[in-house]
Structure 1
Amino acid sequence: MNVLIVEDESLAARRLQKMVQELEPSAQVLTVLDSVAATVHWLQQHSMPDLLLLDIELVDGQSFEIFSQTEVRCPVIFTTAYDEYALRAFKVHSIDYLLKPIQEKELQQSLQKFRQLARAYAAAEQPIPSLTSLLEALKGGASPAQPHYRDRILVKQGQRMFPILTADIAYFFTRDKLTQLRTSDNRQYLLDYTLEELERSLNPKQFYRANRQYIVALGAVQRLHLYFNSKLKLELRPAPEEEVLVSREKALDFRNWLGE
């Protein structure tokens, strides 16, 4: 595995390089760069690395500028001392976003995720999606003509932020004024979004606002049960902690959605 590190703090760069080599003894750190300009030049003159570890605040600007100046055709793990850039990094389909000071366990989890996704990136043989659209959005560019629905959701676990594919989500719900999601394999995460925000950004063919507390994924619905007053009771997998009901007014629409 060939790794390119872009980090403008020499101490942080040495520490990151040491952790990579300890966690992945077969990995080769190709070089360590400290600026947007140096990174663009290097990428234009060399073969693409397998993985890019990319700090956001560099000596000559933000590393997002790199993507407007050259193609980046490898997975990216962003590193930064600030969490304010998480959504921007998320939009360029980075595989992870680590907050400094980076802990070895967190980097190990990121590298494990890289290994899981490496085959998919290699098979694509094309630039990572959404880099151009990110830069247009940052500059006030026009919105795309076609609706764009989320294919992943950013979650936070401790000091680590990472995306969950919407295809892996069973449902979103609110409890005690907190928005959460549960995955198909029964993992649960807190979110910084409201259900209203999520409803607007999710593909309506894949997700349905069952009631005020739940947005359910098509694949999570196992059975429907008739309930009092012509309501529907949903049997979901994984099973939620409370009953999930669809109102009489929504029942027909929900059944039509389920049968599309």
Structure 2
Amino acid sequence: MKILIIEDEARIAKRIERMTRDFFDKDTQILLCDSVENGLNTIEKQSIDLLLLDLNLNGENGFDVLQTVVARSFQTIIISAYTDRAITAFQYGVLDFVPKPFDANRLTQAFIRFTTPEKNNGQEIQFLAVKKARNIKLIAINDIRYIKGAGIYTELHLSSGRIELHDKSMESLEKLLPSTFERIHKSYILRWEEVDKLVVEAGGKYNMLLKNSELLPVGRSKYKEIKQKLI
């Protein structure tokens, strides 16, 4: 586990570092940066699992970091006094927004959200960001029909028929996506509005028929839950 803290106030950075070490195991590596430039340089050179980001860094805008790295595979938790920017941060797909001043309990809640598979039941994101060459492209959540696991990537299957690759894993995306999405199989997350009906085939094989006539597999362990939801 490798965690990056981008915070310009040394006292607060050390406090966050201490609370982070108290929660995670001793093998966790924690990196500290105090500016947008140092943070972005570290992200380019290091493979991290979690980013803890302030939004005001010596007068620089932490959103400059967020907008650059939002499509990366790691999760981001904002720690900031700028609570008026929380909605925008969630729309960019951050996992949590911890307002300053904060205590150990509130930061622990954010860490628990990071370490458990539960969905984010707070603010709902409006788009996912994908990397296109050196640019970031925003994909509206409502344009996604379903998401398919593809090795270390995920495929965003869009209403237009296009497919966009995303760096975040299925598990990471499942935490971020709104309640309108349902995990129907280990390799598929479906936007529920796309559902037509559940199809049961011979041999106990289950599929979900979409409104556009596509068939997606349904996991055996998910069948009863999904059948109940369709009633």
CA contact (8 A) 2:6 2:54 kept: yes
In 1, Cα distance between equivalents of 2:68 and 2:177: 28
**Which of the two has higher C-alpha Rg?**
1
Cα offsets for 1:231-252 (capped at 9, x unmatched): xxxxxx9xxxxxxxxxxxxxxx
Q: Residue 20 of structure 2 corresponds to which residue in structure 1?
A: 20
Deviation at 1:19, TM superposition (A): 0.8
Cα offsets for 1:2-57 (capped at 9, x unmatched): 211000111111111111111224253432111111111111122x2111111111
Cα offsets for 1:54-84 (capped at 9, x unmatched): 1111125212212454563200000101211
Q: Residue 166 of structure 1 corresponds to which residue in structure 2?
A: 179
Q: Which amino acid aligns with 2:30?
A: L
Q: Which amino acid aligns with 2:21?
A: Q
In 1, Cα distance between equivalents of 2:94 and 2:141: 23
Cα offsets for 1:79-98 (capped at 9, x unmatched): 10121111121022111110
Cα 1:111/1:67, change in 2 over 3 Å? closer
User: The residue matched to 1:129 in structure 2 has which SS?
Assistant: strand
Runs of 4+ in 1 over 4 A off after TM superposition: 67-71, 143-149, 202-206
Q: Residue 220 of structure 2 corresponds to which residue in structure 1?
A: none
CA contact (8 A) 2:180 2:192 kept: no
In 2, Cα distance between equivalents of 1:164 and 1:146: 8
Q: Residue 44 of structure 1 corresponds to which residue in structure 2?
A: 44
Cα offsets for 1:198-233 (capped at 9, x unmatched): xxxx98668xxxxxxxxxxxx9xx8xxxxxxxxxxx
Where structure 1 has 5 or more consecutive residues not aligned to the other structure, the ranges are 119-127, 150-161, 170-201, 207-218, 223-236, 238-257
TM-score scaled by length of structure 1: 0.47
Q: Which amino acid aligns with 1:51?
A: L
Higher strand share: 2
Cα 1:40/1:145, change in 2 over 3 Å? closer
Cα 1:164/1:98, change in 2 over 3 Å? farther
Q: Residue 32 of structure 1 corresponds to which residue in structure 2?
A: 32
In 1, Cα distance between equivalents of 2:18 and 2:141: 45
Cα offsets for 1:185-207 (capped at 9, x unmatched): xxxxxxxxxxxxxxxxx98668x
CA contact (8 A) 1:91 1:130 kept: no
Where structure 2 has 5 or more consecutive residues not aligned to the other structure, the ranges are 119-126, 145-174, 183-190, 196-224
Q: Residue 84 of structure 2 corresponds to which residue in structure 1?
A: 84
CA contact (8 A) 2:129 2:139 kept: no
Equivalences for residues 122-201 of structure 1 within 5 A:
129-130=128-129, 147-148=142-143, 165-167=178-180
Q: Residue 66 of structure 1 corresponds to which residue in structure 2?
A: 65
Q: Which amino acid aligns with 1:86?
A: A
Q: Residue 199 of structure 1 corresponds to which residue in structure 2?
A: none
Q: Which amino acid aligns with 1:114?
A: F
RMSD (CA atoms): 4.1
Q: Residue 100 of structure 2 corresponds to which residue in structure 1?
A: 100
CA contact (8 A) 1:7 1:55 kept: yes
Q: Residue 172 of structure 1 corresponds to which residue in structure 2?
A: none
In 1, Cα distance between equivalents of 2:55 and 2:94: 12
In 1, Cα distance between equivalents of 2:27 and 2:117: 16
